[in-house]
A and B are shown apart, each in its own frame.
Chain A
Amino acid sequence: MSEVVFVRRLSPGTKSVLAVFARYGTIIGLLAMIAAFSLLSPRAFPTVYNFTNVLNQASLAMIIAGGLTLAVIVGELDLSIGFAASMHGVLVTGLIVSSGLPIPVAILLVIALGGLIGLINGVIVTKIKVNSVIGTLGVGTILTGLSFAYSAGVPITAGVPEAFLQVSLGRWLFGIPNNIVIMAAVLGGLWVLVERTPLGQEIQAVGGNHAAARLAGIDVDRIKILGFVGSGMCAALTGILLASRLGSGTTSAADPYLLTAFAAVFLGSATLRDGEFHVFGTFIGALIIAFGFNGLSIFGAPTYSQYIFQGAILIIAVGLSSLGRILSQR
């Protein structure tokens, strides 16, 4: 009988080229994009003013994406964030304008409410065992309805005090825009939480292998709920800052942040680590999107091209992310 030999191996060369691309592709892409825009538009693009402006614009997306990062690290998706942020924007404006609450009180109250909505999301997903895509989509839709009910769909613009606008537009610390300061504090705090605390190790463990985390004695449900709470609080903060920047509480104003946040988070997971979500990666992901938008507008590309860019970047991001994961498992 002739012997049959079973040999199936992948070429290691192909594999390592792909692995480098999967890890550093996003950073290489970011640098290439900055270099290309700088060459094409040397006067308008590579300036301190423009870079500060890009970062300022991107800060709101970075905060909401930072929160979403927590939810995805624990292995869940939070689709309520955009709708929640819109509702929080309407609510905080209404509380200040109509109810006459002091600005700091209204802000803290709305952030706490964001945490409560996260808690509700978490309970729905972990205790009632509703798939997180469906559960958070349902909650988000309800929140949109509530925000219409609260404002009757009319933007709250009249009587918004200048002091509230200054929360987002001010430069209270060394002339740095407040948005950037707040974003740096939030992302810095999240990074410390995830990478440097015991709780962060548990968060990573739950997302990495929830069966193993459970048997190691970690309360998996509690950690998942915490992930949603963090996500909900960041969504509230983004909603508040957007209302402050626009000077109005407008229903659906923050809805587009959902897609931006997901694109940033998935681009981030393809950054440096093989398909693992992490806070620094999310920051890089959000920067790529921000510079992309900025470049498009500097070159006068029509508004619709931003949607095409964002949709394409989301698919590329998820593709890169799963490529990294596949390679790390080989």
Chain B
Amino acid sequence: MLASNPEKEASSTPPFLAVRGIRKSYGGAQALKGVSLTLEAGTVHGLVGANGAGKSTLIRILAGLAHADDGGIAVDGKPALIASPAQAADLGMSFIHQELAFVPRMTVIENIMLGLPKKTRFGLVDWPAIAREVEPVARRVGITAPLSAEVDGLSTAENWLINICRALVRRARLIVMDEPTASLSAAESEKLFAIIEDLRRSGVAILYVSHRLDEILRLCDRVTVFRDGNAVSVMERHALSRPRLVEAIVGGAVEALAPHRDVVNKPIVLSARGLTRLPKVDDVSFDLHEGEVLGIGGLVGAGRSELMRLIYGADRPDGGTMTLDGKPFSPKTPAQAVKAGLGLVPEERRAEGLLLTKSVAFNLQLANLSGIVRSPALPLIDYGRRKTLSEGIVRDLAVKTPSIEAAVGLLSGGNQQKVLIGRWLLGAPKILILDEPTRGVDIGARGDIHRLIRSLAARGMAVIVVSSEPDELPDLCDRVLVMAEGHIVRELTGPGITRNAVVEASYAFDGQGKEQT
């Protein structure tokens, strides 16, 4: 690589972006605990870390979508206040996310110019002037589609190029790329890398966020590793290596072995064969046993939540079969899955789990309404019974709430999660699926929730836990299946369930191919 040494330049001119001591917490959970990061013009800076390490939070703060509790940001050595996305753009920062934001029915050039007024003296849009400006940039980044095509029909790769073009037309000096190759083919990725190289030479700074370590090793001049809301390591290009990165991502912590029980001899409750819903779930087969805590590990986007949605009837599979207690099971709606004895605690607990303005009792009883009627003939709610049952759950799960009639949105994240889990305890399902059960939950509630999950399994309930936190699955599970790119790439059992094994298998698709063991 021909990149000049950023350290030498830094002595004469201030870095493009300096982030110092940024803190940010959501509810009780600290997402960023005082991170710093220095980004020089004309360099590619890698940002890596496990899910939940704080990468996205930092990006949201840089983009003006979230506001730091403490800390400072300087652009070109001058303090910068980023209160809104518009201000981030004014500072020359451009963000390209995994979910690309476009107006689908508008053309390529219209999307590129969106929000950038260029008018003739009659106040009309000056299309010839715009075309003169955009066309060379579009050629430079290699957009092959005509600028007058609607973006609706274009490929993801083309959308990336349009986004880069949009950033360059805006004279962006920093482009933040979040998992840019997640949905690109190998050839498309190569093209992107060439453009990144070109951008670097022209003096643009790039913050490159990715789980794919081979890309990080190949592209980056410097890498910052986040772990648990801290920037734990900064590595220069010459010091980069795959083992060093993995070690920094995982952390050198001592493995704590939880007692894993051998449950494979217990009866099988749920069995999936060849379950497929492309592109996220591809030919997945597994068994779930009575009384088992089965962990599903892997990176965000590996297809874990999508697999759970198939089991729960929230999506329909393209192919594959399931059996429940030996009988064919193909739920068409969550309502059918619930009737068959399943329960789900979704990942997005505020968006998909709770009715925030409704009371704790309302949220607890939502899946158990038939259990609180006076009689089948008179379907009125028995408020005494509702109160007894709700208060029982609140007491058993140690939910901290002023009363069962308090709005659930006012509780802390951990207590909201307890309410969601509590909802299913009233109906006693055979299978309980928990997607990221302790995300954004403080450490005390996390322990409570883990103990609760173990005790449910001890009573014979089959539990599936999806988690992106490397520590969570070893603490909790009897068996772990690791997913990558829609496949189950590894099964871990007993003492084989370690945080390193989970992390390593999560990256199994990266470089070496997916079927290795």
What residues of chain A have their CB less than 8 Å away from a CB belonging to chain B?
Answer: 1-6, 8, 192, 196-199, 201-202, 204-205, 208-209, 211-219, 274, 276, 328
- Further contacts, 7 of them, CB under 8 A, given A215-B346, A217-B335: A1-B74, A6-B67, A198-B381, A205-B355, A212-B352, A212-B353, A219-B333
Contact with A along B366-409 (1 / 0, CB 8 A): 11011011000001110000000000000000000000000000
Asked whether B366 lies within 8 Å of A274 as measured between CB atoms, the reply is no
Query: How far, in angstroms, from A5 to B81 measured CA to CA in the complex?
Result: 8
Query: How far, in angstroms, from A1 to B15 measured CA to CA in the complex?
Result: 12
Asked whether A6 lies within 8 Å of B68 as measured between CB atoms, the reply is yes
Q: Does B423 lie at the interface of the complex (its beta carbon under 8 Å from any beta carbon of A)?
A: yes
Query: How far, in angstroms, from A31 to B452 measured CA to CA in the complex?
Result: 52
Q: Which residues of A contact B18 (CB under 8 A)?
A: 1
Query: How far, in angstroms, from A135 to B334 measured CA to CA in the complex?
Result: 26
A274 touching B357 in the complex, CB below 8 Å, given contacts A1-B74, A202-B369: yes
Q: Which of these binds chain A: B169-177, B227-235, B337-345?
A: B337-345
Measured CB to CB, the closest approach of chain A to B357, in angstroms, equals 6
Q: 7 closest pairs, A vs B, by CB?
A: A217-B338, A198-B369, A4-B72, A208-B355, A6-B67, A3-B72, A216-B366
Asked whether A328 lies within 8 Å of B357 as measured between CB atoms, the reply is yes
Asked whether B71 lies within 8 Å of A204 as measured between CB atoms, the reply is no
Measured CB to CB, the closest approach of chain A to B422, in angstroms, equals 12
Q: Which residues of B contact A6 (CB under 8 A)?
A: 67-70, 81, 83
Contact of A211 among B352, B369, B370, B372 (CB under 8 A): B352
A214 touching B366 in the complex, CB below 8 Å, given contacts A204-B358, A208-B357, A219-B335: no
A215 touching B312 in the complex, CB below 8 Å, given contacts A4-B80, A198-B369, A201-B369: yes
Q: Does B20 lie at the interface of the complex (its beta carbon under 8 Å from any beta carbon of A)?
A: yes
Query: How far, in angstroms, from A322 to B79 measured CA to CA in the complex?
Result: 38
Q: Does B73 lie at the interface of the complex (its beta carbon under 8 Å from any beta carbon of A)?
A: yes
Chain B, Cβ-Cβ closest to A1:
B74
Contact of A201 among B79, B80, B362 (CB under 8 A): B362
Q: Which residues of B contact A218 (CB under 8 A)?
A: 335, 366
Asked whether A4 lies within 8 Å of B366 as measured between CB atoms, the reply is no
Q: Which residues of B contact A211 (CB under 8 A)?
A: 351-352
Q: Does B314 lie at the interface of the complex (its beta carbon under 8 Å from any beta carbon of A)?
A: yes
Contacts A/B (CB < 8 Å), 19 sampled: A1-B72, A2-B72, A3-B71, A3-B79, A4-B79, A5-B72, A6-B69, A192-B380, A197-B381, A198-B370, A198-B381, A201-B381, A205-B362, A208-B355, A212-B346, A213-B355, A215-B334, A215-B353, A274-B357
Q: Which residues of A contact B370 (CB under 8 A)?
A: 198
Query: How far, in angstroms, from A295 to B207 measured CA to CA in the complex?
Result: 67
Q: Does B209 lie at the interface of the complex (its beta carbon under 8 Å from any beta carbon of A)?
A: no
Q: Does B354 lie at the interface of the complex (its beta carbon under 8 Å from any beta carbon of A)?
A: yes
Query: How far, in angstroms, from A160 to B213 measured CA to CA in the complex?
Result: 84
Chain A, Cβ-Cβ closest to B338:
A217
Measured CB to CB, the closest approach of chain A to B197, in angstroms, equals 31
A217 touching B337 in the complex, CB below 8 Å, given contacts A1-B18, A212-B352: yes
Measured CB to CB, the closest approach of chain A to B498, in angstroms, equals 32
Q: Which residues of A contact B81 (CB under 8 A)?
A: 4, 6
Q: Does B94 lie at the interface of the complex (its beta carbon under 8 Å from any beta carbon of A)?
A: no
Query: How far, in angstroms, from A24 to B405 measured CA to CA in the complex?
Result: 21
Asked whether B83 lies within 8 Å of A276 as measured between CB atoms, the reply is no
* Number of residues of chain B lying within 8 A (CB) of chain A: 46
Q: Does B365 lie at the interface of the complex (its beta carbon under 8 Å from any beta carbon of A)?
A: yes
Asked whether B352 lies within 8 Å of A215 as measured between CB atoms, the reply is yes
Asked whether B366 lies within 8 Å of A1 as measured between CB atoms, the reply is no
Query: How far, in angstroms, from A208 to B71 measured CA to CA in the complex?
Result: 38
Asked whether A217 lies within 8 Å of B339 as measured between CB atoms, the reply is yes
Q: Which residues of A contact B67 (CB under 8 A)?
A: 6, 8
Asked whether B380 lies within 8 Å of A1 as measured between CB atoms, the reply is no
Chain B, Cβ-Cβ closest to A222:
B335
Measured CB to CB, the closest approach of chain A to B347, in angstroms, equals 10
Asked whether A216 lies within 8 Å of B357 as measured between CB atoms, the reply is no
Asked whether B79 lies within 8 Å of A214 as measured between CB atoms, the reply is no
Query: How far, in angstroms, from A219 to B346 measured CA to CA in the complex?
Result: 17
Query: How far, in angstroms, from A201 to B21 measured CA to CA in the complex?
Result: 47
Measured CB to CB, the closest approach of chain A to B84, in angstroms, equals 11
Q: Which residues of A contact B314 (CB under 8 A)?
A: 214-215
Query: How far, in angstroms, from A1 to B423 measured CA to CA in the complex?
Result: 50
Chain A, Cβ-Cβ closest to B423:
A216
Asked whether B79 lies within 8 Å of A1 as measured between CB atoms, the reply is yes
Query: How far, in angstroms, from A169 to B349 measured CA to CA in the complex?
Result: 53
Asked whether A196 lies within 8 Å of B381 as measured between CB atoms, the reply is yes
Query: How far, in angstroms, from A208 to B74 measured CA to CA in the complex?
Result: 42
Contact of A197 among B71, B339, B367, B379 (CB under 8 A): B379
Measured CB to CB, the closest approach of chain B to A208, in angstroms, equals 4
Query: How far, in angstroms, from A218 to B352 measured CA to CA in the complex?
Result: 13
Chain A, Cβ-Cβ closest to B373:
A198
Chain A, Cβ-Cβ closest to B378:
A197
Asked whether A216 lies within 8 Å of B379 as measured between CB atoms, the reply is no
Asked whether B379 lies within 8 Å of A199 as measured between CB atoms, the reply is yes
Contact of B354 among A4, A5, A198, A209 (CB under 8 A): A209
Q: Which residues of B contact A4 (CB under 8 A)?
A: 71-74, 79-81
Asked whether A1 lies within 8 Å of B20 as measured between CB atoms, the reply is yes
Measured CB to CB, the closest approach of chain A to B27, in angstroms, equals 15
Asked whether B362 lies within 8 Å of A214 as measured between CB atoms, the reply is no
Chain A, Cβ-Cβ closest to B67:
A6
Q: Which residues of B contact A199 (CB under 8 A)?
A: 379
Q: Which residues of A contact B83 (CB under 8 A)?
A: 6, 8
Asked whether A205 lies within 8 Å of B79 as measured between CB atoms, the reply is no
Those of B284-333 within 8 Å (CB) of chain A: 312, 314, 333
Query: How far, in angstroms, from A202 to B358 measured CA to CA in the complex?
Result: 12
Asked whether B344 lies within 8 Å of A215 as measured between CB atoms, the reply is yes
Chain B, Cβ-Cβ closest to A2:
B79
Measured CB to CB, the closest approach of chain A to B77, in angstroms, equals 8
A213 touching B72 in the complex, CB below 8 Å, given contacts A8-B83, A276-B357: no
Q: Which residues of A contact B21 (CB under 8 A)?
A: 3
Q: Which residues of B contact A204 (CB under 8 A)?
A: 355, 358, 362
Contact of A3 among B20, B77, B362 (CB under 8 A): B20
Query: How far, in angstroms, from A274 to B381 measured CA to CA in the complex?
Result: 24
Those of B14-46 within 8 Å (CB) of chain A: 18, 20-21
Contact of A198 among B73, B79, B379 (CB under 8 A): B379
Chain A, Cβ-Cβ closest to B312:
A215
Q: Which residues of A contact B357 (CB under 8 A)?
A: 208, 274, 276, 328
Query: How far, in angstroms, from A162 to B517 measured CA to CA in the complex?
Result: 88
Measured CB to CB, the closest approach of chain B to A272, in angstroms, equals 13
Q: Which residues of A contact B356 (CB under 8 A)?
A: 209
Q: Which residues of B contact A217 (CB under 8 A)?
A: 334-335, 337-339, 367
Query: How far, in angstroms, from A215 to B239 measured CA to CA in the complex?
Result: 48
Query: How far, in angstroms, from A205 to B358 measured CA to CA in the complex?
Result: 9
Chain B, Cβ-Cβ closest to A200:
B381
